[in-house]
Amino acid sequence: MECFIFFSFLAVASKPPEFDRTPTKKTVNAQDVITLQCRSKPPLIFPTVQDWRKDGKPLLAEDIANGRIVSNPGQLLIKSATREDSGNYTCTLVNSAGNITSNRSEVVVKGNMLL
């Protein structure tokens, strides 16, 4: 007979997250990849939720679902940029003790998409 023992613990943060890296202004060409950084200073308390917004609104669900926009821990990737990706992006980090939101970072996509 096999016996499995699972240990589980919940890390509780003693203070809200602090930024180590925040998104910076970017100017890219159409079809380029946009990379925005957003990371918390150590110690990292998981789960740290990372919420990205463009012009104060959630990112488009269809772009996330089809993989054109990918949010990994510490960064946001926008593949094959279009002029519609231009705007002001913010990142919010959340842990059990609170949250912090970055300043707005302007992203400008220049040029037209190739047909």
Using the predicted structure, report yes or no on whether residue 26 has a pLDDT greater than 80. yes
User: Which of 102 and 15 is assigned the larger pLDDT?
Assistant: 102
Rounded CA-CA distance 31/109 in Å is 9
Return the percentage of the chain with pLDDT > 90, whole number.
55
Q: What is the length of the chain? A: 115
E-assigned strands of 22-86?
Answer: 26-29, 34-37, 39-40, 49-54, 57-58, 69-72, 75-78
> What pTM did the predictor assign?
0.81
Task: Please give the pLDDT value at position 50.
Answer: 84
Task: Please give the pLDDT value at position 46.
Answer: 61
pLDDT digits 0-9 by tens, 85-94: 999 999 999 8
